[in-house]
Structure 1
Amino acid sequence: TFEETDLNDPIAHCDLIDAAHSYARAAQAADEAVEAARNSTTALVNSDIEAIEAFNVEWEAKMTHNRGPRNEAGFTAEVKSRTKGDLDAFNKATETASLRYQQYRAISLRAELNAEQATHAVDAAQARLVETARRLATREATREIITA
């Protein structure tokens, strides 16, 4: 237990307050880093979906590029062939979506790494806070033994 003298000890008091503030800052930074990692993961998934959709559109366009009329259940269905310009546009859209996906992937990996590092900083700050409190409690116990 702390006595009033322990709370008035400027060094002990400052150490404990400093350790508590460090822990609070580290915990807040970790929370922000984890939230950023969640947001980047969501952006990565959305980008992945966009890349898949762009790839599918390009793939379909290539498949129907030179397809002639089809005979469906006795009816002739005209298939509008894609022009070379359409295919180029779809190809560019697919490449752009793939690039965007890789950019979001890098951002997501960086955010995950930052969150992990922030979590380690919280652990270190917590250990410092606990050690400071333990040291002060040990001082108090030693004082009680000496005065007894």
Structure 2
Amino acid sequence: KHEDNAYWYQAVRANEVYQMLDGKQRKAALLGKSRGEKGNKTIELTGKKNGLDGIRVGDLSSDQKDHVLKVVGDLLAPFRKQDSQEALKYVKAGGVDNLHLAFYKDENLGKDEIWDVWQLEGPNMISYFRGKPHVHAWLHIRKPA
């Protein structure tokens, strides 16, 4: 756990979504090893709606989708209100259903199933969160094409 880290609440919220998933959904969302960090390439957008890591948000129930939107809200919380509102508008325009949420079990600290490395990716948004050995939180959102 990273209680002293200012961004850990974002991982806690994402892990709440994981806890809401059923067995089949967890199998789709929980993968082995992440892409890792590669500077700015870590959050390079592909523009893809399909073939992304993890479970497609469009395949989730309405309450699970609502919780994913809370994750997005947490990711945007550190930014100025007008900037976070504009970014959220872009995420929604790209299609919340097109986002994919993935957790990476091979990079779990403490073997506690509180996933330290996870990402949320869609055609015009990617968030990559690495909580080991300390938190790096990457975020890239652009206006849809």
TM-score range, shorter chain: under 0.3
Q: Higher helix share goes to which structure?
A: 1
The structure with the larger Rg is 1
Which one scores higher on RCO, CA 8 angstroms, separation ≥ 6?
1
- Which has the larger strand fraction? 2
The two structures have a TM-score, normalised by structure 2, of 0.25
